Structure 1
Amino acid sequence: MQFDHQEITVSIEEGKTITFETGIVARQANGAVILTCGETLLLSTACQGNIPSAETDFLPLRIDYQEKFSSSGKTLGGFIKREGRPTGKETLVCRLIDRPLRPMFEKGYFNEVQVLSYVLSYDGINAPEPLAICAASAALVISDIPLIKPIGAVRVGMIGGKFIINPTVEEQKSSKLDLILAGTEEAILMIEGYADFLAEEQILVAIEKGHAAIRMICQTLSKWQTQIGKPKNPGELKLLSTDLIDDMREKISVHLNTALRIKEKLDRESAIKALFTEMLTQYTDRDLVYTELEIKSAFKKLQAELLRKMILNENIRADGRRSDQVRSIDIKPSFLPRTHGSALFTRGETQSLSVCTLGGENMAQRSENLDGEVSDRFYLQYFFPPFSVGEVGRLGAPGRREIGHGKLAERSLAKTIPSIDVFPYVIRLESNITESNGSSSMASVCGGCLALMDAGVPIKRPIAGIAMGLILEDTRFAILSDILGLEDALGDMDFKIAGDMEGITAFQLDIKVEGITIEVMQAALAQAKQGRLHILHKMLETCPKSKENLSSYAPRIETVMIKPSKIGTLIGPAGKQIRAIIEETGAQIDIDDSGRVSIASTNSESMNRAKEMIHNLTTDVEIGKTYKGKVVSIVNFGAFVEIYGRECLCHISELSYSRVQNVEEVLKLGDIIEVKVLDINDRGQVKISHKATLPTSQKDVAHRDCRRGCGG
């Protein structure tokens, strides 16, 4: 079914409207929408691909998001000008789109689906991230692809205690909250939020405000679907046989229930695998033919059923804990002897080896996006090698999961990092996951905080993180503190929360059912706070405060301020002057536009020499003051003396009270002499005098010699 140009508009707040259009661009896609907000414009398309093969047991949903640099009148700054591999930011937005959409497809629908989103015009005012989620949803809504119902998304900011829906890019800079949430008209599906130590009550109010705006977007898209949407075509859904599940339940539920209660992960997985192998053998040898995929899916469903009953009915989890208990914690600070700071953080069977490295400005993480070039002085990189889960796997560039987990941990800790004026270092954190059984991103937060403290970074407040789970059956639910990998896989929610004793710095929620209500979220936040404080107390028992001294292997960095007008003088023509200082002293020197000069060095001698040279180059000489300078040139009429990098003329008549016939009689190249500034003319030329610094007794001697020579 084809249709002409159609559009619909929704106003989510006074003066803020979003317009959806279709029928002009990309008309051969199953669904295509242009979304406009201000002069920011995005194109999203949705296409349905191949019918699933017999081996497919998941939805092969592919989400891609790209920011065209031409959208803001720019091009890439590197050698290659064509957009290529997704940037870190684009990868994170892909995840934002994927997470709320994935649970909203029909059960058993495993056709290949691709959703592409492009930023085609960017006004620098209306941020594209929440708009991309809405555009992707709209493209699916009007297509024949079986999305159950529309989703909407907004960003919520907080300025001066007031919550703002979809704040402008400029407003975000002064906001104490950066919250992106997505959901249906009835409930929340996804949250990605970062805050400046806000209380749980404030977070809940922000979510309620955001969901009210989401509700309006969903209602608008539902209306549009009714008006112009194509009939949904789910095709042949691959649903599990209830007979297979019932038969398997009768055969092994007792044994599987026992296996699920084994505390150690590897032993539990081994027992479960043995039961699955037994079922696979039994069912494939029988006349009643089931595919391996069907047997595997039924087995997983039975696992989930038994685990959920065990938690809801007995308040017992696979490792024997109650729902609100946190696993045992072991902390080893200064684990690596030659790093600037390190910590081995172990919580149950999840372990992070975190490392902090300090450096100068050249160690900053640089990137470019639609708003310009970005230089991050604090960043966290997350590594998840296959041995952490006892598997064999490829190594290479980080995947979407690694990038997402690293950014979550990084932004969890960002608010506790001291300002550059307090601590003039670039800070790189690594989280190396050496064991994993649930919530390695929150282990990265805890381990990363401890590594910062071990490195002597004067953080504002210690930060801890915890991951919460949910088992939801009709009106009954159980909230799980510090979830295991099994509970994440078979449960209904993954809710990560980081902060200190008083407030939250980061929270991320993914839900596998249709949504989560405010009441459930309120209970999850309250229980998460108890767990977070427990973990934080364990951390502070081992490392109560940051080390007072830096590692002997860390560089020393000092900053000096110069006048912005002197930056060019310090750099010199084509960087000649600054390179000369670096080569002579061995120090690393970085200058920003405000005139802040950072000097990094591993020894005090080169540090002091670099500071002296910078001071000499950027300090103005003043009339009437006395300075020491080096003779750098001798001419017939005097000598040029270098003072603070400037060559100043000392006329032959100003060398001595006595008459000087030849300058070289009293001076030679390289001499250090004391001079007084007599005058600075309009062209900046400095007139100096050496004789003005001499004792007055020499003036009397010179006067007597003159009288004798004149016959007086």
Structure 2
Amino acid sequence: MEGPEIQYSEAVIDNGRYGKRVVRFETGRLAQQAAGAAMVYIDEDTVLLSATSAGKQPREGFDFFPLTVDVEERMYAAGRIPGSFFRREGRPSTEAILACRLMDRPLRPAFVKGLRNEVQIVVTVLAINPDVLYDVVAINASSMSTQLSGLPFSGPIGGVRVALIDDGQGPQWVAFPKHSELENAVFNMVVAGKVAGDDVAIMMVEAEATDNSWKLIKEQGHQAPTEEIVSEGLEAAKPFIKALCDAQADLAARAAKPTVTFPIFLDYEDDAYAAVEQASATKLAAVFTIADKQERDNASDALKDETIAALVGDFAGREKELSAAFRSVTKHVIRQRILTEQIRIDGRGLTDIRQLTAEVEVLPRVHGSAIFERGETQILGVTTLNMLKMEQQIDSLSPVTRKRYMHNYNFPPYSTGETGRVGSPKRREIGHGALAERAIVPVLPSREEFPYAIRQVSEALSSNGSTSMGSVCASTLSLLNAGVPLKAPVAGIAMGLVSDQVDGQTRYAALTDILGAEDAFGDMDFKVAGTAEFVTAIQLDTKLDGIPASVLAAALKQAREARLHILSVLTSAIDVPDELSEFAPRVIAVKIPVDKIGEVIGPKGKMINQIQEDTGADISIEDDGTVYIGATNGPSADAARSAINAIANPQIPEIGERYLGTVVKTTTFGAFISLTPGKDGLLHISELRKLANGKRVDNVDDVVSVGQKIQVEITKIDDRGKLSLSPVVADEENAAEEVAAESAAE
């Protein structure tokens, strides 16, 4: 019996010294009742199935394109059983939702305008190498199945992740990097686009500096992802995108269904547009010189009602057309003014930023808080610190199993003066939170430097343009207020783009700090976050069928100037971390031998539970023997540390204990004293005054010398276990006797 005819094509991605990756597109074997279905492999060990289906009838009452994109992560793909109570997959993971957004954003503009039939694209992960990132493969899979479906779709669209990696032979943009390779990358960028003549037009960008970027740049001298380097990355992605598009086009030419004719519902007919334009264009130009958002919106709504009322007699039953035409005329008026007069809706120039306000410590009792305002956009940032055991546990196909920094973004309906549903986050809120999270992660202190789980919440209290970038700014302020030692402050700005025909030529105008209306009526939303030195996160969405990379490069440079201005405002509000809040837990670390972990825990947790009950501290133990102790006050933490040391490190010194130590080293700032084998402490030069009759000591060697024995008391033990000492002057005679006795014994 003959099986189905299987056809395929391949794209070979050549990364030079980093090897080749092969992306294989295949159709004809699975999901044959879907309008279009494609199996996509990468290196033969990761397999995705994408199926595209379309409703037979247009959706009534819809004035938008009902496209749905879903990702189904199957745990069997990684040889695992789901960790949920019912042991089956439930709601999609955050990673799956973000993958859906990655696919939706470049695909949506490629469908014919006016389509009202419901279209659904479902990508199922069937098999995966845990070291492979499947999300960018899914972009190509969804494009391929849609190409095969016969829908009116102007593809193919190719998507590639490129990472800037330096293995010692110079930095290189590597396509389809693996999780393990990203450990040595400073920047990670997903780029989607389509072939446009001899070039590739960019349709979507999602990028971030990696967790290790700061260390790689500052300690190992790797190339920082500046605006120029990021622009080079966009160019480097183009050949890979072209190879992926060519492979899709080759398979589509042989296996795609004929394009089906679907009913197209135009928003309005030409006569409706002409009538609305004649009746309202001049007045609209005046309305959109009003700077205040609510006043401007009210004036626009009143003019819309007036225009429709004046024309409804000639367009009976076509009120929806008139409403849509009014919106289109509004869009044209705004764009023409920007392109010809270089003046925006609220009277600003193309590069002007609205008034900025930054304030910290705005809420009582919380660990850190701040408000950041940019014009009518207002974001409240709140930081909460806790033990590392409170970090998020992740059960997904990714090898990442836990997350210490969690950024949640909330967008309540009142932020735009409207009513609506509140409750669980929508995809947009998850996406905005992830973007703000990626912007901040590169500058966070390491787990060792700051052993806390950090939850950051951004509340969009008022919205008129780029609440996600406002969240980045509010987060920087709030984290510093909470005492988090950021490596550098981060700020973000949203750029817009307007393009249109002026005097027969296509003109582009990049807008700094866009309003909500400029986002709605513009062609691009380009968000850029970073420090004063380099970019930490980028997100690009476009309504055009691609944007020239040169235009994006110019927008990046324009965004840097705005970012530096915003950073100056943030640092004027707070430029160094504050002290930890009195309400935040104090977390200290103790190192114990690995073979003592069982003794500290005790049978069935009896010992550790007893310590927690007696001291009021929370205790968590890592596999390497690091014990994290968290408490609301210092005495509780110290009591827990003493109890743990009594079990696992019985010879570890405690504050207040006295030792007859030996000077083993002198420095310009003090002397190191050996207390017990392997345990030294510092006797600071300021403490030596007690041995010099209270006189200032300029030279340590004038008071003590290597080999000298001295009675000392432990005065401080810092979070890393380092000891600070003080000489015991009152016991000098006793100390001398002990020295004599010890010398006689020798």
- Of residues 230, 251, 263, the one that matches 2:291 is 263
SS at match of 2:57: coil
Equivalent position of 1:680 in the other structure: none
Equivalent position of 2:278 in the other structure: 250
Distance 1:108 1:313 in 2: 29
Equivalent position of 2:9 in the other structure: 8
Equivalent position of 1:637 in the other structure: none
SS at match of 2:384: strand
Q: Which amino acid aligns with 1:489?
A: A
1:40-439 aligned at under 5 Å gives the runs: 40-53=46-59, 55-160=61-166, 161-185=171-195, 186-195=200-209, 196=213, 198-239=225-266, 240-286=268-314, 288-372=315-399, 374-439=401-466
Deviation at 1:620, TM superposition (A): 6.4
Q: Which amino acid aligns with 1:563?
A: P
Deviation at 1:580, TM superposition (A): 1.5
CA contact (8 A) 2:7 2:251 kept: no
SS at match of 1:415: helix
| CA pair 568-144 structure 1, distance change in 2 beyond 3 A | same
Q: Which amino acid aligns with 1:271?
A: A
Greater displacement, 365-374 / 255-264 = 365-374
Distance 2:109 2:357 in 1: 36
Distance 1:205 1:594 in 2: 42
- Of residues 610, 620, 624, the one that matches 1:594 is 624
Deviation at 1:619, TM superposition (A): 2.2
Distance 1:344 1:325 in 2: 21
SS at match of 1:187: strand
1:496-507 aligned at under 5 Å gives the runs: 496-507=527-538
Distance 1:126 1:362 in 2: 27
Q: Which amino acid aligns with 2:7?
A: Q
SS at match of 1:274: helix
Structure 1, residues 73-98: CA drift from partner, whole Å, max 9, x if none?
10111212121211111111110000
SS at match of 1:262: coil
CA contact (8 A) 1:32 1:45 kept: yes
CA contact (8 A) 2:131 2:399 kept: no
Greater displacement, 434-443 / 83-92 = 83-92
| CA pair 500-621 structure 1, distance change in 2 beyond 3 A | closer
Deviation at 1:189, TM superposition (A): 0.4
Deviation at 1:261, TM superposition (A): 1.6
Deviation at 1:35, TM superposition (A): 0.5
Distance 2:70 2:520 in 1: 24
SS at match of 2:487: coil
CA contact (8 A) 2:490 2:530 kept: yes
Distance 1:464 1:4 in 2: 54
Deviation at 1:373, TM superposition (A): 6.2
Equivalent position of 2:548 in the other structure: 517
Equivalent position of 2:524 in the other structure: 493
- Of residues 32, 38, 61, the one that matches 1:27 is 32
Greater displacement, 348-357 / 296-305 = 296-305
SS at match of 1:607: helix
Distance 2:319 2:59 in 1: 13
SS at match of 2:394: strand
- Of residues 449, 460, 472, the one that matches 2:476 is 449
| CA pair 552-620 structure 1, distance change in 2 beyond 3 A | closer
SS at match of 1:553: coil
Deviation at 1:125, TM superposition (A): 2.9
Structure 1, residues 369-414: CA drift from partner, whole Å, max 9, x if none?
1135622111111111111100111111000000000010011001
Distance 1:53 1:445 in 2: 38
Distance 2:271 2:251 in 1: 40
Structure 1, residues 617-643: CA drift from partner, whole Å, max 9, x if none?
212679xxxx99xxxxxxxxxxxxxxx
Equivalent position of 1:563 in the other structure: 593
Deviation at 1:592, TM superposition (A): 1.4
Deviation at 1:367, TM superposition (A): 1.8
Distance 1:392 1:33 in 2: 41
Distance 1:439 1:165 in 2: 30
1:628-707 aligned at under 5 Å gives the runs: none
Deviation at 1:168, TM superposition (A): 1.4
Equivalent position of 1:17 in the other structure: 22
1:524-543 aligned at under 5 Å gives the runs: 524-543=555-574
CA contact (8 A) 2:208 2:536 kept: yes
Distance 1:373 1:214 in 2: 27
Equivalent position of 1:460 in the other structure: 487
Equivalent position of 1:692 in the other structure: none
RMSD: 1.9
Query: Unaligned regions of 5+ residues in structure 1, if any?
Result: 629-712
Deviation at 1:567, TM superposition (A): 1.9
Q: Which amino acid aligns with 2:616?
A: G
Deviation at 1:282, TM superposition (A): 3.4
Greater displacement, 343-352 / 356-365 = 356-365
Deviation at 1:110, TM superposition (A): 2.0
Greater displacement, 485-494 / 578-587 = 578-587
Distance 1:600 1:212 in 2: 52
Distance 1:253 1:162 in 2: 52
SS at match of 2:184: coil
Equivalent position of 1:550 in the other structure: 580
| CA pair 234-570 structure 1, distance change in 2 beyond 3 A | farther
| CA pair 346-584 structure 1, distance change in 2 beyond 3 A | same
CA contact (8 A) 1:465 1:496 kept: yes
Distance 1:318 1:303 in 2: 11
Distance 1:304 1:373 in 2: 44
Distance 1:518 1:382 in 2: 30
Deviation at 1:544, TM superposition (A): 2.2
Equivalent position of 1:705 in the other structure: none
Distance 2:465 2:614 in 1: 52
Deviation at 1:204, TM superposition (A): 1.1
Deviation at 1:54, TM superposition (A): 5.2
Q: Which amino acid aligns with 2:49?
A: L
Deviation at 1:50, TM superposition (A): 4.2
CA contact (8 A) 1:106 1:234 kept: no
* Alignment: residue pair count: 623
Q: Which amino acid aligns with 1:514?
A: D
Greater displacement, 420-429 / 24-33 = 420-429
